[in-house]
């Protein structure tokens, strides 16, 4: 009797059996940059920490060949709708409608996973280049996993793309390869 196991089922089983670090986490990576985001220039919203396997990956951070994690530590409380509204705004200005339509199922899955945050909470968005899997964790609890290199590049682009990011200042702090990690959001 031959039993055929689909690649998707194999991936799901392996993710359940592997330790979290193997699926991509900040514990298995190097901090390559950090910065912060302010609302209206003076209300600190969150600190952002960008991780990759090696510092040399910083200049090509959006490549599907580079594993990465973006850790956001919140200084204020936010509702899921705040995340969705902000993400959609940036995605719409960065991508043509036909690309957004291709990504819609994945974007909707991630957006439906968002939970409210309070001061001190952390969201971690990680991409594992070996599996093509993007995960979203809230305070180390995995909320969703999405299998798509194209989705990863687009969603991480909200913060990391040089093309109309959420915050140009934060994008420069995280991706400017001419300097090491900034301290407390200092400009470089």
Could you tell me the residue ranges of all domains in the chain? 35-175
Local confidence band at 24 (pLDDT 50, 70, 90 cut-offs): low
Of residues 11 and 44, more confidence is placed in: 44
Q: How high does pLDDT run on average in the chain?
A: 83
| Core vs surface per residue 15-35: b (16+ CB within 10 A) or e | beeeeeeebbbbebbeebbbb
What is the CATH number that goes with domain 35-175? 3.50.70.10
Q: Which residue has the tokens 């670090």?
A: 21
The per-residue pLDDT for 70 is: 97
Residues linked to residue 87 through DSSP beta bridges, in sequence order: none
The per-residue pLDDT for 38 is: 83
pLDDT tens per residue, range 107-155:
999 999 999 999 999 999 999 999 999 999 999 999 999 999 999 999 9
pLDDT > 90 fraction of the chain, expressed in percent and rounded: 70
pTM (2 d.p.): 0.80
């Amino acid at each position: 009797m031959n039993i055929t196991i689909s690649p998707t089922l194999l991936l799901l089983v392996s993710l359940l059996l592997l330790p979290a670090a193997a699926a991509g986490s900040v514990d298995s990576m190097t901090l390559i940059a950090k910065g912060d985001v302010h609302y209206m220039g003076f209300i600190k919203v969150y600190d952002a920490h960008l991780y990759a396997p090696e510092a040399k990956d910083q200049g090509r951070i959006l490549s599907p060949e580079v594993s990465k994690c973006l850790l956001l530590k919140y200084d204020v409380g936010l509702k899921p709708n705040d995340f969705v509204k902000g993400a959609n705004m940036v995605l719409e200005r960065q991508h043509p409608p036909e690309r957004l339509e291709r990504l819609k199922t994945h974007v909707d899955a991630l957006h439906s996973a968002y939970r409210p945050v309070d001061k001190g909470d952390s969201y971690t968005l990680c991409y594992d280049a070996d599996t093509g899997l993007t995960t979203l964790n809230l305070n180390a609890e995995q909320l969703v996993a999405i299998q798509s290199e194209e989705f990863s590049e687009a969603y991480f682009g909200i913060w990391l793309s040089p093309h109309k990011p959420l915050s140009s200042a934060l994008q420069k702090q995280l991706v400017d390869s001419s300097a090491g990690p900034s301290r407390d959001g200092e400009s470089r």
